[in-house]
């Protein structure tokens, strides 16, 4: 009696009792389905997150100004997470101190940092947000967010140019009124016409002016706009020279700067070093603000970790469902063996050994679990894909989870099938043949 015949036999007996087989499988289907569903959603989310962050650049370290907490003022540097949560608390309670010109990160500071960490820093990208607004030519209309940027911004943020040039050194030194716009904005405002060299009227709450389009970049949806974006009122960035923006806002410093480290350098360690450097040299006497830095890499790591923990927790709950499903399988196998006592007796009379009878029923239990598992995997991927698309990111089935689930259902079959199969194997052939 070989494996193929046993498998065929197992399917034959499943088909003979379809309703019973489906009900038995239900526990396994629900258990496996929910694990796979959660895993698919989690993987889709983390896959999407890491690809977005990859786009933003894993070598990026973001430097930003943060308000000091009470604790901070007294004790100096402490636990960073604690500081962050305390800061959030302080913000919620409304105890915010206004940022003034003297608190901002200046060009001089950046020049100093660049010199100090010359072997790690690839380039520094500075931006200054003017505000959100819109552009219109009377008939057509598009939302935008106006941003002053340095030359390196294009590299640091992996902006992909479609046509023309990004903001250059000359634009900055001359504080020119030039703009780089997204392909989406071009599509809306200019249709198929070539936008390069065209004038565009941009207006925000505090500023309005006419700019010349010098470049078009490919728009890519980022993390922040996952669910708010619809094509109709999509707001895209319009980049203008940093110096031009500084003039508008009347400020020479920045609230946040992105430093791109050289490939292969430890950006997480660099983030700590650069934050300490800023705080020790430039912000040591600042009572209200300090500098914090985080790397994309460490952020990605901690988010992935968080997701993995969540997945494990949900999988543990699903494991309970699988346990219940397994007990259901064992129960049905015991019923089936009782019903088929005479068959077992006959098989023994025809020369089946105890081992062969045991194998036959274990395989039957494994087939029930495996078929249930496969249905569960299909259902789980379906649900996960629906969930992922509802949340607005591309679905991504977890191969690892599928393999794990198939393996796990087999193990459940083996474990819960063994006892009934062994009971069948140990039946006395004479009693079994006489069973009514």
Partner 1 sequence: MKTIIDMQEITKSYFIGHPNEFKALNDVNIRIGEGEFVAVIGESGSGKSTLMNIMGALDRPTEGKYYLDGIDVGQEKDHALSGIRNRKIGFVFQTFNLIPRMSALRNVELPMAYARVPGRRRAERARQLLEIVGMKDRMSHQPNELSGGQKQRVAIARAMANNPAIILADEPTGALDSTTGHLVMDIFHKLHEEEGKTIILITHSRELAGETERIITLRDGAVIAELAGSGKQGRTA
| DSSP 8-state assignment for residue 96 | P
Size of the site for partner 1 (CB under 8 A): 24
Q: Say which residue the tokens 């390069």 belong to.
A: 196
Nearest CB to partner 1, comparing residues 11 and 282 = 11
What is the separation, in whole angstroms, between the first and last Cα of the chain? 27
Measured at the CA of 91, the angle between CA 86 and CA 93, to 5 degrees, comes to 95
- Helices in 340-428 by DSSP H: which ranges? 341-349, 354-391, 399-425
13 binds partner 1 (CB under 8 A): yes
- The closest of 215, 217, 237, 216 to 225, measured between CA atoms, is 237
Q: Which residue of 54, 309, 354, 389 would you call a contact of partner 1, by CB under 8 A?
A: 354
Report if residue 5 touches partner 1, rule: CB under 8 A: yes
Q: Does 348 bind partner 1 (CB under 8 A)?
A: yes
Stretch that binds partner 1, among 11-19, 207-215, 233-241, 263-271 (CB under 8 A): 11-19
The residue among 77, 53, 58 whose CA lies nearest residue 66 is: 77
* Nearest distance from C-beta of residue 11 to partner 1, angstroms: 10
The H or E element that residue 42 is part of is helix 18-56
Please give the structure tokens belonging to residue 385: 């894909």
Contact 270, 295 (CB under 8 A): yes
- How many CA within 13 A on the CB side of residue 114? 15
Residue 335 is a binding residue for partner 1 (CB under 8 A): no
Contacting residue, 164, 265, 343, 383, with partner 1 by CB under 8 A: 343
80 forms part of the interface with partner 1 (CB under 8 A)? no
- The yes or no reply on residue 20 touching partner 1 (CB under 8 A) is no
Is 435 one of the binding residues for partner 1 (CB under 8 A)?
Answer: no
290 vs 347, beta carbon nearer partner 1: 347
Q: Is the dihedral of CA 302, 304, 310, 312 positive or negative?
A: negative
Helix residue ranges, H only, 169-241: 169-173, 183-190
φ and ψ of 238, to 5 deg:
-115, 120
- Closest distance to partner 1 from the beta carbon of 363 (Å): 14
Give the footprint of partner 1 on residues 370-429 (CB under 8 A): 429
The piece of 10-18, 208-216, 263-271, 410-418 that touches partner 1 (CB under 8 A) is 10-18
Name which of 290 and 348 has its Cβ closer to partner 1.
348
Answer whether 321's CB lies under 8 Å from 100's CB.
no
Sign of the alpha-carbon torsion through 292, 298, 304, 307 = negative
Query: Where does this chain touch partner 1 (CB under 8 A) — which range of 96-104, 171-179, 337-345, 406-414?
Result: 337-345
Q: Is 1 or 196 the residue whose CB approaches partner 1 more closely?
A: 1
Least separation in angstroms between CB 333 and partner 1? 17
- Binds partner 1 by CB under 8 A, chosen from 352, 371, 381, 427: 352
Report phi then psi at 282, rounded to 5. Answer: -100, -25
- Strands (DSSP E) contained in 28-116 are 60-67
Q: Of these, 122, 222, 288, 356, which contacts partner 1 (CB under 8 A)?
A: 356
The interface region with partner 1, picked from 138-146, 185-193, 213-221, 348-356 by CB under 8 A, is: 348-356
Residue numbers 174-203 binding partner 1 by CB under 8 A: none
Q: How far is the CB of 420 from partner 1 (least distance, A)?
A: 19
Residue 338 within binding range of partner 1, rule CB under 8 A: no
Q: Which stretch binds partner 1 (CB under 8 A): 6-14, 190-198, 249-257, 299-307?
A: 6-14
Per rule CB under 8 A, is residue 353 in the interface with partner 1?
yes
Answer for which of 137, 342, 390, 400 binds partner 1 (CB under 8 A) is: 342
Report helix, strand or coil for 286.
Answer: coil
Going 279 to 281 to 284 to 288, the CA torsion angle's sign is negative
58 secondary structure, DSSP code = T
272 binds partner 1 (CB under 8 A): no
Contact present, 417 and 333 (Cβ < 8 Å): yes
Contacts to partner 1 by CB under 8 A: 1-2, 5, 9, 12-13, 16, 342-343, 345-356, 429-430, 433
């Amino acid at each position: 009696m070989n494996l193929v015949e046993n498998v065929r036999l197992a399917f034959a007996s499943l088909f003979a009792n379809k309703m019973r087989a489906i009900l038995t499988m239900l526990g396994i289907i629900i258990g496996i389905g929910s694990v796979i569903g959660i895993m698919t959603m989690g993987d889709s989310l983390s896959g999407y997150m890491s690809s977005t962050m990859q786009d933003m650049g894993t070598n990026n370290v973001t430097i930003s100004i943060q308000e000091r907490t009470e604790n901070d003022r007294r004790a100096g540097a402490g636990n960073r997470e604690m500081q962050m949560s305390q800061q959030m608390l302080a913000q919620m309670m409304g105890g915010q101190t206004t940022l003034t010109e003297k608190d901002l990160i200046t060009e001089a500071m950046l020049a100093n940092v660049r010199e100090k960490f010359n072997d790690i820093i690839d380039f520094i990208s500075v931006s200054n947000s003017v505000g959100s607004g819109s552009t219109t030519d009377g008939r057509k209309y598009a939302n935008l967010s106006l941003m002053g940027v340095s030359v390196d911004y294009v590299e640091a943020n992996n902006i992909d140019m479609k046509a023309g040039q990004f903001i250059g050194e000359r634009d900055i030194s001359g504080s020119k009124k030039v703009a780089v716009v997204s392909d989406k904005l071009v599509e809306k405002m200019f249709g198929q016409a070539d936008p390069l060299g065209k004038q565009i009227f941009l207006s925000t709450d505090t500023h309005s002016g006419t700019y010349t389009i010098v470049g078009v970049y490919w728009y890519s949806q980022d993390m922040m706009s996952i669910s708010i974006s619809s094509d109709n009122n999509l707001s895209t960035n319009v980049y203008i020279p940093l110096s031009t923006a500084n003039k508008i806002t009347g400020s020479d410093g920045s609230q946040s700067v992105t430093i791109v480290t050289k490939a292969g350098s430890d950006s997480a360690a660099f983030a700590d070093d650069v934050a300490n450097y800023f705080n020790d040299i430039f912000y040591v006497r600042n009572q209200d603000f300090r500098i914090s830095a985080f790397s994309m890499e460490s952020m990605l790591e901690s988010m992935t970790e968080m997701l993995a923990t969540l997945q494990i927790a949900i999988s543990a709950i699903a494991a309970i469902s699988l346990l219940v499903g397994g007990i259901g399988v064992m129960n049905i196998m015991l019923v089936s063996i009782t019903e088929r006592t005479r068959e077992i007796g006959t098989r023994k009379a025809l020369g089946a050994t105890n081992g062969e009878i045991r194998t036959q029923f274990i395989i039957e239990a494994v087939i029930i679990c495996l078929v249930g598992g496969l249905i569960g995997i299909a259902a789980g991927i379906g649900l996960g894909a629906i969930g992922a698309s509802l949340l607005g990111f591309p679905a991504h089935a977890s191969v690892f989870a599928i393999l794990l689930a198939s393996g796990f259902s087999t193990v459940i079959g083996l474990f819960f099938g063994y006892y009934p199969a062994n009971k069948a194997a140990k039946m006395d052939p004479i009693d079994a043949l006489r069973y009514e």
